Amino acid sequence: MTGIELTAIGFAAMLGMIAIRIPIGAAMAITGFVGIWVVRGTPAPALAQLKGLTWDTFSSYSLSIVPLFLLMGQFASKSGMSERLFRAAAVWLGHKRGGIAMAAVGACAGFGAVSGSSLATASTMGQVALPEMKRYGYSDSLATGVLAAGGTLGILIPPSIILVIYAILTEQNIEKMFAAAIIPGILAALGYVAVVLGYVTLKPDAAQRTPRKPWSERFGTLWQVWPVVAVFILVIGGIAADWNWFQPGRQALFTPIEGAAVGAVLTGLYGLITGGLNRASFTDSVLQTAQATAMIYFILFGAAVFNAFLALTQTPQALADWVVASGYAPIMVLTLMLMAYLLFGCVMDSLSMILLTIPIFFPIIQSLDFGLTPDETAIWFGILVLIVVEVGLITPPVGMNLFIINSIAVGVPMRRTYAGVTPFVLSDLIRVVVLVSAPWLSLVLVRAM
């Protein structure tokens, strides 16, 4: 039996286990363990892999960035940053038709800059913005659709847990990945605002205006949101910007892990000062961070075992050699991969998609010529993967953001949420086409570093 055949059987078995609700980390670990056993003909190498990979996965210094960014997001949520962001944006934009929906997009982008999680952004902003939109007569479809889509900005705008995982898997520079995501993140927010404008133009009854606020009140709200801006600039700027003028001999002010630690401390201090973070909420933040970190680490461990099996079968390299020998145009291969992600997104969560596919897709992409350097190709592909994974979060039937927002919007049928998010999905697909056609949009800040 060839390596590719073994891999195909392993994938089928793993998907079968996932279908019967075995946790994906366990499904990958079991498949990898059995696969190594079959390839080697004895369980000893598989047991040795379990021993070595357990240590390698859980002692990785690079992975310590994950709980730090998760903790920063928890502190930001508990300290009321999301509510202040939304209130400020609503004061500036609410008097326009669809203004509260546009304010929700802006607040999601701002909160995503300090949370790094799509689900946290959707959940937090849904609780803050949905009552306000209902108060001003927004249609159920527009209200739930814009919040589900806006939540995806949590994993696109740096810092992003998914980008960190991708960078670790592909051995890329985390600072450059963050820099590459900034322009696509801005394009995403602008695209969602454009969708809201188009929606209320075609259906004026879908949203009412709020009373226009005086300029004094508008500028007064900026004082409430400056901490979010300051944290983002200090953390992301400290990680990615050139600070040689400040620290001779060192390009960045922080390493990514140091930046994550600084962000967690600053958001925690902000929560203490504003009163949003007390003993109970601090304890809850730490516990939720521990639970989320344990889940991510366990999935990463399962992926490591499964990837060891793939390495033994040499399937990734065999597929890469086959694609190169086939003569298919690189853009066609990339398009097929992105379409596969869109299909996976209908039935699988974002982290699982990344961990299952990158070990196979990444060697193929690296073997193709897109007119970029290998590092630029890796960064560009990572941004594209992040975007199509983001689309999966709002694609029926298993878009996680849709279920989160629908659970908050009590009494709203799921079909209305599906209908409301559809134009935002189309906006995302257009953005994918633009970024595929113009790689420089993802790479211009990276090249400037």
Into how many domains does the chain fold? 1
Look at residue 384 in the predicted model and tell me its pLDDT. 92
Q: Could you report the per-residue pLDDT of 43-76, keeping only the tens digit for each?
A: 888 888 787 878 877 777 778 888 888 888 888 8
Look at residue 157 in the predicted model and tell me its pLDDT. 82
Q: CA 296, CA 62: separation in Å to the nearest integer?
A: 14
Residue 321 pLDDT class (50, 70, 90 cuts): confident
Residue 350 has pLDDT above 80, yes or no: no
Q: Could you report the per-residue pLDDT of 261-276, keeping only the tens digit for each?
A: 888 888 888 888 888 7
CA dihedral sign, ordered 196, 411, 154, 83: positive
Range of the structural domain that residue 384 is part of: 3-448
What value does the mean pLDDT take over residues 104-117?
A: 80
Contact 226, 274 (CB under 8 A): no
Look at residue 246 in the predicted model and tell me its pLDDT. 47
Residue 245 has pLDDT above 50, yes or no: no
Residue 21 has pLDDT above 50, yes or no: yes
Look at residue 190 in the predicted model and tell me its pLDDT. 92
Residue 212 pLDDT class (50, 70, 90 cuts): confident
Look at residue 398 in the predicted model and tell me its pLDDT. 67
**351 burial via Cβ count (<10 Å: 0-12, 13-18, 19+):** buried
The DSSP letter of residue 412 is: -
Backbone angles phi, psi at 250, to 5 degrees: -130, 125
Q: Could you report the per-residue pLDDT of 184-210, keeping only the tens digit for each?
A: 988 999 999 999 999 888 888 877 777
What value does the mean pLDDT take over residues 343-355?
A: 76
Helix axis angle for 65-78 and 256-274, nearest 10°, is: 20
Which of 165-174, 344-353, 362-371 bottoms out in mean pLDDT, i.e. has the lowest?
344-353
Residue 381 has pLDDT above 80, yes or no: yes
Which of 134-148, 168-182, 239-253, 255-269 bottoms out in mean pLDDT, i.e. has the lowest?
239-253
Residue 379 has pLDDT above 90, yes or no: yes
Residue 144 has pLDDT above 80, yes or no: yes
pTM comes to 0.83
Give me the chain's average pLDDT, please: 82
What value does the mean pLDDT take over residues 166-180?
A: 86
Q: Could you report the per-residue pLDDT of 385-444, keeping only the tens digit for each?
A: 988 888 887 887 667 778 888 888 877 888 888 888 889 999 999 999 999 999 999 999
- The C-alpha torsion from 131 through 136 and 137 to 139, rounded to 10°, is -60
Three-state DSSP at 212 gives: coil
CB atoms within 10 A of CB 61: 7
Q: CA 256, CA 261: separation in Å to the nearest integer?
A: 9
